[in-house]
Amino acid sequence: MAKIDLEQMDDMHFDILKEIGNIGAGNATTALSQMINAKVDMKVPKVCLLDFRELPDIVGGAECIVVGILLELEGEINGMMMFVLEKESAHRLVNILMGRNIDNFDEFTEMDLSALNEIGNIIAGAYLYSLSALTNLMIKPSVPYMSIDMAGAILSVPAIEFGKVGDKALLIESQFGEEDEFVNGYFILIPTLESYEKILTSLGI
């Protein structure tokens, strides 16, 4: 049985996870910047541990429409990783990527959805790469799965996983974008409890 209890994590654990989030998001923005051939800024990510019931409220309430991109993780770290974008932020991101007017909120086309999926893949991949490089643990992510629906429904997937081991969920919020057009994205890393322990142990905790 794992020794790590999510509710007993201290500041140092948070700082480490925050730093992983920071480096990961940094790599992700670099990747994104290369993809759209423009400067992409990022803000320092926020890491918080919250009651899983509050998860949907963070992204605007249970009925707020969000884009969720989920990857399964295998290898030395098992679990899932989810990247959540508010629908409006997703539109902005696609507009930046497609070189369209930033205020275009038409329905997503097939091409937009494909682009979003790829953005999710790149961002999640960059994040996971940092995690893997820092911990020296091998992580094999699956192809990305995307779903656009109510936040409550999308977030029920990580909430259930967290629910198996307790009542808390770990959320890393990061913001990135161009100067005045920041978009909000949320990473939810959902390692199994054993994998949490592996991550922290490999970092010498």
Partner 1 sequence: MKYKMKELIRVGMADLNACKCPGGLTTLGLGSCVGVTLYDSQTKVGGMVHVMLPDSTRFKHTENPAKYADTGIALLIEKMEKLGADRKRLSAKIAGGAQMFAFKADNEMLRIGERNVEATKQVLKKHKIEIIAEDTGLNYGRTIEFYTKTGDLVIKSVGKPDKTI
Q: Which of 20, 22, 29, 52 binds partner 1 (CB under 8 A)?
A: 52
Give least dist CB 123 to partner 1, A: 17
Distance separating alpha carbons of residues 90 and 76, to the nearest angstrom: 31
14 makes contact with partner 1 (CB under 8 A): no
Total number of residues that touch partner 1 (CB under 8 A):
32
150 makes contact with partner 1 (CB under 8 A): yes
Q: Which of 4, 42, 154, 188 binds partner 1 (CB under 8 A)?
A: 154
Largest CA distance in the chain: 53
What is the H or E stretch that residue 72 is in?
strand 65-75
CA dist 101 → 86, 95, 96, 98, 111 (Å): 18, 6, 8, 9, 16
166 makes contact with partner 1 (CB under 8 A): yes
2 makes contact with partner 1 (CB under 8 A): no
Q: Which of 9, 76, 108, 152 binds partner 1 (CB under 8 A)?
A: 152
| Three-state SS at 181 | strand
Contact status, residue 152 vs residue 63, Cβ threshold 8 Å? yes
Instruction: Count Cβ atoms within 10 A of the Cβ of residue 35 and give its class: 0-12 exposed, 13-18 middle, 19 or more buried.
Output: middle
Give least dist CB 52 to partner 1, A: 7
Site residues, partner 1 (CB under 8 A): 52-53, 56, 61-63, 65, 68, 70, 72, 80, 145-157, 159-161, 163-167
